[in-house]
Amino acid sequence: MKDTRRKERKFLLMAEELLKVAGADFVLRTRGSHGAFDLVASSKIWVRFIQLKAGHRPQISNAERQRIKCAKVPRNAQKEIWVWLDGSKLPSVHSVE
């Protein structure tokens, strides 16, 4: 359990750093989230709601994808799933429409 939490925290911190480098004015973590999103980030030109997945072969269930798709967010916001494979330096980013 400790290793899982440590890994989750590592990927959250890496995602926050990437978003800041991309121009985010702020990044909010939804701690202990069981909701649709793990991070919310905003800049002057974009707003992103992000679900993070990480591991050897992270799985995104159809129910989870549907929950993200149906989540209410502002019109100008993007809904994304970031998938981090073990050993990767960057995530694969999937837009959810």
pLDDT(2) > 70: no
Residue 32 confidence (pLDDT): 65
Count of Cβ atoms closer than 10 Å to residue 57 Cβ: 8
- The first and second tokens of residue 51, run together, are 């679900």
CA distances to 6, 18, 65, 72, 80 from 61, rounded to whole Å, are: 23, 25, 6, 19, 15
- The first and second tokens of residue 53, run together, are 């997945």
pLDDT in tens, 58-88: 888 898 899 999 999 999 999 999 998 888 8
Residue 35 confidence (pLDDT): 79
Residue 1 confidence (pLDDT): 47
pTM, to two decimals: 0.87
Boundaries of domain holding 41:
2-95
CATH number at residue 49: 3.40.1350.10
Q: State the total domains in the chain.
A: 1
37 alpha-carbon distance from chain centroid: 6
